[in-house]
Amino acid sequence: MNTQEHLSNLLEQTQEIAKQVGSFIRKERQHFDVEKVEHKGFNDLVSYVDKEAEKKIVAALSKILPEAGFITEEGTNTTKADRFNWVIDPLDGTTNFIHGIPVFAVSIALMEYDELVLGVVYEVNRHECFYAMKGGGAFCNDTPIKVSPAPDLSASLIATGFPYYNFELIDKYLAALKSMMQKTHGLRRFGSAATDLCYVAAGRIEGFFEYNLNSYDVAAGALIVQEAGGTVTDFSGGKNFVFGREIIACNGKIQEEFTKELQEIWN
């Protein structure tokens, strides 16, 4: 990618793609037939809306950056490229969508080699488009956003996601919940990791943690958090949060305390 101007142009086009697909998802929810839900695995649900949304995203992104590859949740296109790859979750929060709970989003990120350079998350129900590009700050509906200034866990609201099919770490997870309940303003489980991350970026919550996530769940939101002034790591405090299946995102000020608390439980 030659210039920041080119990346900025891609970001603008990606926002429009996310909004258009979000409009399709919102329309389909109005007359959604629960009997059309498929099971990829235990409690791992998918619908024709997920699949069709992904096809629309892949087709549109292929036009604006033809040389890029794809990492997609529903497998519409799994051809990876050497330099650029789109990382796509067409409907993050499928279970919410199926049940009519209004927290679900379109998530699109672009990676250059192993670096996140662009991220867009469109929360369908509130019509909120969160976006960022590397070095360009973070925004929601054209308004700059920043992480919360809360200084410690005791002043923080924390979001997480509950395990719904891989229960091998459930005891550690419950221990983490117990700890956070006693040391923070409280816990929230919205059901969409992409949305959780954007809420960290916008300063609505101070931190988010979850394990057993995929790259397409977190890639866009992670960059948005970073560009909003927050920090994103794996549970060890390292950088393997896109593909490492575990993530801690926060406002930065609670990073040391937050990470130490989780490490003591997980290790």
Sign of CA dihedral 59, 60, 61, 65: positive
Helix, strand and coil in the chain, % to nearest 5: 40, 25, 35
Q: Beta strand pairing status for 246-250 and 207-211?
A: antiparallel
Three-class secondary structure assignment of 102-125? CCCEEEEEEEECCEEEEEEEEECC
66-to-12, 63, 69, 252 alpha-carbon distances in Å:
17, 6, 8, 36
pLDDT value for 37: 79
Q: Pick the closest to residue 196 from 233, 169, 158 (CA basis).
A: 158
Q: Say if residue 55 is in the same domain as residue 91.
A: yes
User: Do 120 and 86 meet the contact criterion of CB atoms below 8 Å apart?
Assistant: no
- Whether residue 234 is annotated as binding a ligand: the answer is no
Residue 44 tokens read as 């791992």
Does 73 belong to an annotated binding site? yes
d(CA 68, CA 46): 26
Residues 138, 8 share a domain: yes
Q: What pLDDT sits at residue 44?
A: 55
Question: Is 54 one of the annotated binding-site residues?
Answer: no
pLDDT of the residue at 253:
97
Residue that is last in its domain, among 113, 144, 175: 144
| pLDDT at position 156 over 90 | yes
More confident: 240 or 42:
240
Residue 228 has a pLDDT of: 98
Banded model confidence at residue 1, pLDDT cuts 50, 70, 90: low
Same domain, 129 and 9: yes
9 plus 83 within the same structural domain: yes
Same domain, 14 and 122: yes
Q: What angle do CA 92, 93, 99 make, to 5 degrees?
A: 150
The residue with greater pLDDT, 251 or 173, is 251
Q: Does residue 113 sit in the same domain as residue 195?
A: no
Q: Is residue 186 a contact partner of residue 157, using CB atoms and an 8 Å limit?
A: yes
Residue 136 and residue 9 share a domain: yes
CB within 8 Å of 174: residues ≥ 6 apart: none
Any idea what the CATH number is for the domain that residue 221 is in?
Answer: 3.40.190.80
**Could you read off the pLDDT of 171-184 as tens digits, one per residue?**
998 999 999 999 99
Annotated binding-site residue? 217: yes
Instruction: Please indicate, yes or no, whether residues 161 and 127 belong to a single structural domain of this protein.
Output: no
**Residue 246 near residue 222 (C-beta atoms within 8 A):** no
| Residue 241 main-chain phi, psi, to 5 deg | -100, -20
Instruction: Give the residue from 109, 144, 179 where a domain finishes.
Output: 144
Q: How far apart are CA 146 and CA 73, in angstroms?
A: 29
Q: What is the pLDDT of residues 196-248, one digit of tens each?
A: 999 999 999 999 999 999 999 999 999 999 999 999 999 999 999 999 999 99
pLDDT per residue as tens digits for the range 43-92: 455 678 999 999 999 999 999 999 999 999 988 898 999 999 999 999 99
Are residues 194 and 86 part of one domain?
Answer: no
| Same-domain status, 160 and 139 | no
Number of domains in the chain: 2
* Whether pLDDT at 146 is above 70: yes
Least confident of 21-25, 38-42, 140-144, 164-168: 38-42
Output the domain CATH number for residue 116.
3.30.540.10
Q: Residue 178 corresponds to which tokens in the numbers above?
A: 């117990």
pLDDT at 43: 47
Question: Tokens at residue 172, please?
Answer: 């550690």
Q: Are residues 139 and 164 in the same domain?
A: no
* pLDDT, average across residues 13-32: 95
Average pLDDT of the chain to the nearest whole number: 93
Tell me the mean pLDDT in the region 114-131. 98
Domain with 255 in it: 153-266
29 or 85: which carries more pLDDT confidence? 85
Q: Of 144, 175, 209, which marks where a domain is finished?
A: 144
**Same-domain pairing of 224 and 181:** yes
- What integer pLDDT is reported at residue 40 of this predicted model? 65
Residues 122, 129: Cα–Cα separation, whole Å: 4
